[in-house]
Amino acid sequence: MGKTNATYRDMMQAKRDDYSDAERAVRAQFQAAWDTLWVHASDHADIMHIHNPRDPMEGILMSICLGQQLEIEALQERVDDLEATEN
């Protein structure tokens, strides 16, 4: 795979390249958050590779959502632990 058809990761990188103008316009204080979105997209690319969406942006957005949901759950667990130790 990859010789005749672009891999999902290739399509994802091409989409990130499409957003290079926007990336340059991101303010310095938001740059880390912007980068984290793409880390989420990359971290969960194996799932989207299996799904093989026609539009890679669909897979990118689902990967970002999954990454953010995992962060929310980890933070909620920390809050629950802190609340339990307070009581």
Evaluate whether 64 touches 72 at the Cβ level (below 8 Å).
Answer: no
The residue whose two tokens read 């632990």 is 81
Would you place residue 63 in the very low, low, confident or very high pLDDT band (cuts 50, 70, 90)?
A: very high
The length of the chain is 87
Average model confidence (pLDDT) for the chain?
92
pLDDT at 4: 78
> For 26-35, 42-51, 62-71, 72-81, which range has the lowest pLDDT when averaged over its residues?
42-51
| Mean pLDDT of the region 64-81 | 97
Q: Kindly report, residue by residue over 5-42, the tens digit of the pLDDT.
A: 888 999 999 999 999 999 999 999 999 999 999 999 99
Around Cβ 2, how many Cβ atoms within 10 Å? Answer: 9
